[in-house]
Amino acid sequence: MNTPKAPRPPEHLDSQARAKWAQVYRILADRGEPLDAGTLDALSCYASSWSQWLSAEAKVKELGLVCKSAAGFAQENPFLSVARKAQTELRRWGDVLKITPKSKKGTRSPSTAKPAANTPNPLKNLRVIGK
């Protein structure tokens, strides 16, 4: 499909978010659905959450799952909470954009849609005459 040239990602997004924005924009544009302002805003939120998740995961990798509190006690790395919240937002915005496996279930194209189980077979009573 001939994808239209993507507009520039919003300026407020960092480089990681801009890269994700461009990647997902192409996916959405390839569907042929109109990309209105609301969809592009949702895409910006998705891309921002992606960047936050990557940054938080990098800090977890750097500091480990457990770190010392100010009082010197072991505690869960606070960046784990940031990463989990960003993942939750990714799923939410992904559902809005219909790019998660769960949200894609209802977006089959007519050519790949399976008929309902109770749909009568129009060829059931067809008789072949003269072989």
Q: Read off the pLDDT of residues 31-43 as tens digits, 9 standing for 90 and up.
A: 887 899 999 999 9
| The predicted structure's pLDDT at residue 1 | 53
β-partners of residue 68 are 74
pTM of the model: 0.73
Is residue 86's pLDDT more than 80?
Answer: yes
* CB burial of residue 48 (10 Å; 0-12, 13-18, 19+): buried
Residues 80, 15: Cα–Cα separation, whole Å: 22
| The predicted structure's pLDDT at residue 123 | 61
Going from N- to C-terminal start, the domains of the chain cover: 15-104
